[in-house]
């Protein structure tokens, strides 16, 4: 366990599946140099196959006895999907018979192949919601435990899980060990790579690209020990944000506010069945464990309270009025860590998100 | 180097299969080990390579492919001249596997040769594979990876973008492609030093002047390693203990998913050999294996250790089902009497937190295994003799 833990909360009631986070991450980190097929951030439709294909059935994580479970390494073409490209150049130069505009491989699979399919029968009781996923920067990472080279480490200062590319030899046991399949093999450099929680941005006062670009403002970022942070309030004070698949035993540090609002079902005549809800609670229990019931109750109660009294701190947080309140990156803390490590502290590029447990400056709104 | 090997294969150097496993290898003295013709004088010996089963890795598919894997025979010969030692390893492999293409599940064939960094105290030699604390090893690794681009350490970000994003076309794009291609590492040859599992560190400062290569032909690989007899890491003379490992890419082999030999004695022809080490590495244990099995059961060893494939797997201690294949008698003896002398580091402690192999005391790894130094000498020898019988059959 690290000294402090930086965490993210995602409010699933508000995710619209626009993939802005996916694109923000891709253009920042994974559009080049062997990482083309990787999505450090992806948004999948749940229920669905997910990314990589059927990742929940590929093993990894820990059993109740704390033993790391064997896992399967997904196949790039069949399970992740080859990032195909087009023959732009040959359109200009080749003879007419070759100059059809076509992908360089015939695509058979890719992330979001089953977008918006969901489950149930349309229009009576079909349902789905979006599930954005990044590396969970687990307190007990499966990838770290699986590495025979000690090439994966958890940063002491903020719990970000990173790969030491100098030690990594590309053995890929980490991929088998991660139950979320959020660590990837880079075939070009023959090493594993993963979400770095945008630590170079965080250290300079910028939230992770996925969180800052999120148009639905569903993502909160802050330290779990910072009682002023909205992350703390959602996870610890109100307990409405829960880690994904806590049964995997890795203690994930990305937390989700479960989707509580789903439309009612229709009967055979297409009439609303009053009091029904499309989203089966069993699905949420599978994803978030038994704590999901209490979380949903709190959310419903606070919603009611807000309607009746106009006052609810929790609802105000989830409305996400100000980025400056949603992101508390504790810049002074990072500056001190840099000094301790005899590195030159970097000047913040943005002053709005600097506040934190060890940083008094609030910045302007 | 590839040229040398190709011509060698065409020479058809015959392997001598008549010699028993673990006999000493004679390194023939030649004028220049880099001269292809020198290999016509080489004397090949059979070396048996056993599947590494001390710990089971967490790759489900690979484990299915290697379940109850058999041992392999390799033919090994050595040459030396005034400056260098050369080893040739030939082993059967039904398919040529390269880690290639834009894929996440291809693995390459490969081989490695290990030297003990110090042989001042030959009994026992460093732990096979990774060395052990105070007994470092040097490992030369050659893999059949087709092309690898090392992560950018030179801030050459301009060559890391994809060709479509360069904004150039035609001749300029061809030049960009050529520049990128020139940055690829096409010979995956690496040297490591290690003092126990997880300590293995790549030598990147050029202080090891070795050269290795591997060539596929006639249902098998032939690999050559040439390295100096003396450098910052080793000083080889008389009897040189080496150990060999091979990886099979079609079985998803990498890291611990390999076949490896025990320490083999290589005598530099014309030099005074180390009789003690040769006898240690070539003669069978004198104990009574049947009595040893009984003693082992009486002492509860199989409570933690898996002895044969039929026994349940355990995370508590290394599986011993191939220990007779890749361990020396001296090492087995030491492990019984002083379990903490070499702690096979096994799993990450976090991976199996309820079955710790060792505890950290003042930064030192202390094995959870009971010390069996109270056993009488004959019993220990009997147990060692039994352990030496624990190994897979040869395929």
Q: What is the CATH number of the domain that holds B144?
A: 2.60.40.1190
Confirm if B50 and B322 have CB atoms less than 8 A apart: yes
Q: Which residues of chain B make contact with A189, given a CB cutoff of 8 A?
A: 148-151
Q: State the pLDDT at residue B19.
A: 31
End-to-end Cα separation, chain B, in angstroms: 30
pTM for the model: 0.93
Burial of B340 (0-12, 13-18, 19+ CB in 10 A): middle
Q: How many helices (H) and strands (E) does chain A have?
A: 12, 10
- Residue recorded with tokens 């409405």: A240
Q: State the pLDDT at residue A5.
A: 98
User: Domain for residue B294, yes or no?
Assistant: yes
User: Domain for residue B314, yes or no?
Assistant: yes
Residue B387 sits at φ, ψ, to 5 deg, of -60, -35
Give the residue among B90, B33, B50, B390 at the shortest CA–CA distance from B220: B90
User: Domain for residue B105, yes or no?
Assistant: yes
Interface test with A, best of B98, B105, B184 (most A CBs within 10 A): B105
Residue in B with minimal Cα distance to A192 = B104
Average pLDDT, chain A: 94
- My answer on whether B271 and B332 are in the same domain is no
For A256, residues 6+ apart whose C-beta sits below 8 A from its C-beta are A9, A10, A11, A12, A131, A241, A242, A243, A244, A287, A288
User: Domain for residue B295, yes or no?
Assistant: yes
Given an 8 Å threshold on Cβ–Cβ distance, is A70 in contact with B165?
Answer: no
Q: Which residues of chain A make contact with B143, given a CB cutoff of 8 A?
A: none
- Domain total of chain B: 3
- My answer on whether B46 and B99 are in the same domain is yes
Give the integer Cα–Cα distance in Å for A330 and A227. Answer: 12
In chain A, where the domains are located: 6-82+110-340
Identify the domain containing residue B159 by its residue range: 154-182
- My answer on whether B319 and B229 are in the same domain is no
Give the integer Cα–Cα distance in Å for A148 and B194. Answer: 13
- Residue recorded with tokens 């290639």: B100
User: Domain for residue B394, yes or no?
Assistant: no
Q: How far is B304 from chain A (nearest CA, A)?
A: 16
- My answer on whether B23 and B49 are in the same domain is yes
Residue in B with minimal Cα distance to A86 = B164
As for the ipTM of the complex, it is 0.91
Q: Which of A32, A169, A190 sits opposite B162 (nearest CB)?
A: A32
- My answer on whether B128 and B207 are in the same domain is yes
Q: Considering the domain A6-82+110-340 in this protein, what is its CATH number?
A: 3.30.70.20
Interface test with A, best of B101, B147, B151 (most A CBs within 10 A): B151
Domain boundary among B248, B263, B282: B282
Listed as ranges, residues in chain B with pLDDT below 70 are 1-22, 119-123, 152-153
For residue B73, how many other CB atoms are within 10 A of its CB? Answer: 17
Q: How far is A172 from chain B (nearest CA, A)?
A: 9
Q: Which residues pair with B114 in a beta bridge?
A: B139, B243
- My answer on whether B368 and B328 are in the same domain is yes
Domain boundary among B282, B299, B323: B282
Q: What is the pLDDT of residues A152-166, one digit of tens each?
A: 999 999 999 999 999
User: Domain for residue B365, yes or no?
Assistant: yes
Q: What is the pLDDT of residues B42-84, one digit of tens each?
A: 999 999 999 999 999 999 999 999 998 999 999 999 999 989 9
Average pLDDT, chain B: 89
For A178, the enclosing helix (H) or strand (E) is none
Confirm if A284 and A321 have CB atoms less than 8 A apart: no
- My answer on whether B126 and B33 are in the same domain is yes
Q: How far is A286 from chain B (nearest CA, A)?
A: 24
Residue in B with minimal Cα distance to A89 = B169
Q: Is B151 on the interface with A (CB under 8 A)?
A: yes
């Amino acid at each position: 366990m690290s000294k402090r833990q930086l965490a993210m909360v995602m409010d699933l009631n508000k995710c619209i599946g626009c993939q802005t986070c996916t694109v923000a991450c891709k253009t920042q980190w994974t559009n080049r140099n062997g990482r083309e097929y990787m999505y450090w951030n992806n948004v999948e439709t749940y229920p669905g196959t997910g990314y990589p294909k059927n990742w929940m059935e590929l093993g990894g994580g820990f059993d109740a006895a704390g033993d790391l479970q064997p896992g399967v390494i997904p196949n790039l073409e069949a399970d992740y999907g080859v990032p195909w490209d087009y023959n732009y150049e040959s359109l200009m130069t080749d003879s007419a018979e070759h100059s059809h505009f076509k992908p360089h491989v015939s695509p058979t699979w890719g992330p979001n192949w089953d977008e918006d399919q969901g489950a149930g029968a349309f229009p009576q009781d079909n349902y789905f919601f979006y599930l954005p996923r990044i590396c969970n920067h687990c307190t007990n990472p499966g990838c770290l435990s699986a590495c025979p080279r000690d090439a994966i480490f958890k940063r002491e200062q903020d719990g970000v899980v990173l790969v030491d590319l100098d030690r990594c030899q590309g053995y890929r046991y980490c991929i088998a060990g991660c139950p979320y399949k959020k660590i990837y093999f880079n075939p070009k450099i023959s090493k594993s790579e993963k979400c770095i929680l945008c630590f170079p941005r965080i250290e300079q006062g910028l939230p992770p690209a996925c969180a800052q670009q999120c148009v639905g403002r569903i993502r909160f970022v802050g330290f779990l020990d910072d009682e002023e942070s909205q992350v703390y309030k959602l996870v610890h004070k109100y307990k409405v944000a829960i880690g994904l698949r806590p049964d995997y035993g890795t203690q994930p540090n990305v937390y989700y506010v479960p989707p509580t609002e789903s439309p009612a079902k229709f009967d055979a005549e297409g009439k609303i069945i009053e009091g029904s809800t499309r989203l089966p609670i069993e699905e949420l229990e599978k994803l978030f464990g038994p704590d999901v019931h209490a979380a949903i109750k709190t959310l419903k109660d606070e919603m009611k309270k807000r309607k009746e009294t106009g006052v609810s701190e929790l609802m105000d947080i989830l409305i996400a009025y100000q980025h400056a309140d949603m992101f508390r990156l504790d810049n002074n803390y990072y500056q001190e860590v840099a000094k301790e490590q005899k590195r030159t502290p970097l000047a913040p590029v943005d002053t709005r998100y600097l506040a934190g447990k060890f940083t008094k400056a609030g910045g302007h709104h | 180097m590839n040229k040398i090997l190709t011509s060698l294969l065409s020479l058809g150097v015959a392997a001598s299969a008549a010699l028993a496993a673990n006999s000493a290898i004679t390194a023939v003295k030649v004028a220049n080990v880099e001269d292809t013709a020198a290999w016509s004088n080489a004397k090949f010996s059979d070396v048996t390579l056993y599947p590494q089963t001390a710990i089971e890795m967490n790759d489900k598919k690979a484990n299915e492919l290697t379940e109850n894997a058999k041992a392999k025979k390799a033919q090994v010969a050595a040459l030396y001249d005034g400056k260098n030692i050369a080893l040739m390893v030939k082993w059967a492999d039904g398919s040529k596997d390269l880690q290639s293409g834009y894929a996440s599940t291809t693995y390459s064939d490969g081989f490695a040769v290990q030297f003990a960094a110090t042989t001042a105290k030959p009994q026992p030699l460093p732990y096979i594979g990774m060395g052990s604390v105070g007994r470092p090893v040097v490992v030369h690794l050659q893999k059949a990876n087709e092309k690898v681009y090392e992560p950018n350490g030179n801030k050459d970000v301009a060559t890391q973008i994809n060709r479509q994003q360069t904004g150039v076309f035609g001749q300029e794009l061809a030049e960009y492609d050529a520049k990128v291609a020139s940055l690829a590492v096409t010979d995956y040859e690496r040297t490591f030093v290690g003092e126990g599992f997880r300590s293995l560190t790549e030598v990147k400062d050029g202080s090891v002047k070795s050269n290795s290569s591997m060539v596929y032909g006639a249902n098998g690989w032939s690999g050559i390693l040439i390295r100096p007899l003396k450098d910052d890491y080793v000083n080889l003379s008389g009897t040189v203990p080496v150990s060999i490992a091979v990886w099979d890419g079609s079985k998803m082999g990498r890291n611990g998913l390999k076949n490896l030999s025990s320490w083999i004695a290589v005598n530099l022809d014309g030099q005074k050999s180390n009789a003690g080490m040769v006898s240690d590495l070539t003669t069978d244990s004198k104990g009574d294996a049947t009595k040893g099995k009984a003693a082992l059961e009486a002492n509860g060893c199989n409570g933690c250790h898996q002895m044969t494939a039929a026994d349940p797997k355990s995370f508590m201690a290394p599986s011993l089902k191939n220990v007779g294949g890749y361990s020396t008698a001296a090492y087995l003896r030491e492990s019984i009497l002083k379990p903490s002398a070499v702690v096979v580091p096994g799993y990450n402690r976090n991976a199996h937190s309820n079955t710790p192999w060792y505890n950290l005391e003042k930064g030192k790894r202390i094995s959870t295994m009971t010390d069996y130094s109270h056993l009488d000498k004959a019993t220990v020898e009997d147990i060692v003799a039994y352990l030496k019988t624990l190994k897979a059959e040869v395929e």
